[in-house]
Amino acid sequence: MRISLRHFLLVLACVLAVAGVSAASASGWGGYTFTPVAFPGHQAATWPWNVNTAGAVIGEYWAGQAYASESFGFVERFGHYWTISEPNRVSGDGMNAMELTASGDVIGGYYVPDANSVNNGQTGYIYIDRKGHFTNLSDPSADPDTGTWLLGANFWGEIVGGYVGRTDGSWHGFIYKHGAWTTVDACGSGEGTELINVSDGGLISGQCWSSEGFGPPVSNFLYTPQGQLITFPDLTAQQAPGILPNAPSEWGDSTVLWGLNDLGLRAGSYVATPTTSTCNTNESGATYYGYVEHNGRVTPIIVPSTKIHLPAISDPNTCAVLMGGANDVGQAVGKYDANTQREPQNEPPDSYGFLMTPNF
């Protein structure tokens, strides 16, 4: 039953993808057609985090300017958007949505301000929205002040992310599946583990970093359903410099692998430093760029904004391109931060979301 349903949904997604290409005013660029993802009334503050097997886009939008207000989850299907709001949330709480499952459940993260938390002053929870009935989850091994941070989920309801251990203060990866929690420590002593995303077939992407704190990950890895650990392919590290704009020589230490499917597609972002961009960058002066790798071939993601009627995003008008999830049809989502020189200094940038659909 599961296989037949999945095949049906894959065919449906192909049909939707082709329909999206023909309906879009933009012709394909670089093998993809780009479509804006913008929650109505919040074009400059919409972040898509995933696109599922059936072509639904899932993410978050900010009530005001991104980073400067509270956020809500959203799901988009066939051009219609709806808000996901945890019933216990209060002003200042944050939310996102990560997956719309085969059974119609929405899986996402819910974040509550907490002065005791070591993670940006927030405590994280997982929620599952079953047709308006919400269940909150937290890994039993997690520090209650920091909570449990959802980073990815798949069409069948498998959930991955990270938490700070209540006894050791270290970051651990977790898998939540069929009501059971599994801890994954893929990194060496003194390093933290975080699981970033999970494909429909159960392949998981993750990253390690040193105990000195966040920043460019020490390494990326893949974690198979059988528990096998695979280092991020060396081929990517060898190809990236000279192909991707401003890619650093330390490519493998400067990437985050976000989206993946079961057909060899990997989508992620890398940090380029120093940067020559005149737009806002992060606190370390770095600019993020997006890339897609498919079976060893690395391609930079440059959104043709003039064709999808969004602000120009070629340097110096692009601050960041951050890739999100991908599905087995080859669609992927992401977002970029536009140039904000028109705004007062140090204000957060406008963030614009997009859906990439391969041209068949």
Q: Across the chain, what does the average pLDDT equal?
A: 76
Cα(48)–Cα(40) distance, integer angstroms? 13
Using DSSP, state whether 69 is helix, strand or coil.
coil
pLDDT band at 299 (very low <50, low <70, confident <90, very high): confident
Torsion over CA: 343, 346, 352, 356 (sign): positive
What is the per-residue pLDDT for 237?
47
Domain residue ranges in the chain: 2-358
Q: Do residues 218 and 212 touch, judged by C-beta distance below 8 A?
A: no
pLDDT, tens digit, 9 for 90 and up, residues 15-47 = 333 333 323 333 333 478 888 899 998 888 899
Fold of the 2-358 domain: Neuraminidase (2.120.10)
Enumerate the β-bridge partners of residue 128. Answer: 107, 135
Q: Do residues 118 and 137 touch, judged by C-beta distance below 8 A?
A: no
Q: Which of 261, 257, 269 is nearest to 219 (CA)?
A: 257
- Asked if the model's pLDDT at residue 231 lies above 80, the reply is no
pLDDT, tens digit, 9 for 90 and up, residues 66-124 = 555 689 999 999 999 999 998 888 777 889 999 999 999 999 999 988 766 666 678 89
What is the per-residue pLDDT for 128?
97
What is the per-residue pLDDT for 92?
75
